[in-house]
Amino acid sequence: MRIGVLTSGGDCPGLNAVIRSVVHRAVVDHGDEVIGFHDGWKGLLEADYRKLDLDAVGGILARGGTILGSSRVQPAHLRDGVERARGHVADLGLDAIIPIGGEGTLKAANLLSEAGLPIVGVPKTIDNDIASTDVTFGFDTAVGVATEALDRLKTTAESHQRVLIVEVMGRHTGWIALHSGMAAGAHAIVVPERPFDIDELTALVGKRFSAGKKFAIVVVAEGAKPREGSMQFEQGAKDIYGHERFAGVATQLSGELEQRLGKEARPVILGHVQRGGTPTAYDRVLATRFGWHAVEAAHRGEFGMLTALRGTDIVMVPLAEAVETLKTVPAERYAEAECVL
Ligand code: F6P
């Protein structure tokens, strides 16, 4: 069998572990040939690739990022490129393509799968918002990085008797905010799933100071928004693709909280540090298991499917189902965290 693998969308700790696992299982156990496309879908559209053998994946298990490079592809670009992709798959004699990616990548994968290309997807994102899998690799690493940062920020917040508003990643969902906030004992957690009321947030933080505490840590997901009519919030500027970005939620919130509480406040934006560096042991294991199962699915001819973790098992789920909706933080999960703020 000849398999093409690619990594697309925002990078994520554990991508290299999947690539390594695919190569080991395919090349060593099945006698397959594996090629890796460069920079995500772009590599497939431009037939830009290299051969992946055991030497190529030596020593990459613990390495962050992706040895293949990544890019965000615009859906329209890919839609126009379906025939080009089909042509390259035929010319290269590929029997399977394993794209490793998040929401956007999986939508693109589904599009190509519906066009008849032999696709087996592998989900990844630090955001943990792919509904079909209990967990995505990268999430554990990101939560660990954010938790360590929060632990560190507590001591400086305490020394200066400040409110620190710490912005973590999560454009659509608040999983990183929820888990790191719980793990670090934050005093308020703000997630996109629950638009915040600025009066309630001020009261929550203020109650802490009234009780004699000297500092507060507020964790806020980058996609958090105020409840309608609660606070004037500036829209984020658009990026070069026209997506709203750079909203600076922590900056806006800290200005408002400083005024309302009469306490010094500072924004801290953790940003891409949450995505960089070595994956945790948990993420390495999950990524390795996904790689193994993706190759097995390809050998069974199970295309149009995605590897997923359900409980402790890896199962295959239809790609079409996986792209239907995002996994948001349920009210009960938020209540569990709220109880210990
Ligand atoms: O989807 C992963 C993610 O890290 C999000 O949490 C974040 O909003 C986004 O990617 C950032 O994307 P970029 O690296 O393109 O700025």
Q: Which of 130, 169, 238, 249 has most ligand 1 atoms within 8 Å of CB, for mutation?
A: 169
> pLDDT truncated to tens, each residue of the chain (341 aa)?
999 999 999 999 999 999 999 999 999 999 999 999 999 999 999 999 999 999 999 999 999 999 999 998 766 677 788 999 999 999 999 999 999 999 999 999 999 999 999 999 999 999 999 999 999 999 999 999 999 999 999 999 999 999 999 999 999 999 999 999 999 999 999 999 999 999 999 999 999 999 999 999 999 999 999 999 888 888 888 888 787 777 799 999 999 999 999 999 999 999 999 999 999 999 999 999 999 999 999 999 999 999 999 999 999 999 999 889 999 999 999 999 998 88
pTM (global) more than 0.90:
yes
124 lines ligand 1 (CB under 6 A): no
Q: Which of 15, 124, 127 has most ligand 1 atoms within 8 Å of CB, for mutation?
A: 127
Per-residue confidence (pLDDT) for residue 92, from 0 to 100: 97
Our measurement of the distance from residue 103's CA atom to the centroid of its chain's CA atoms, rounded to an integer in Å, reads 9
Nearest of 150, 139, 163, 165 to residue 221 by alpha carbon:
165
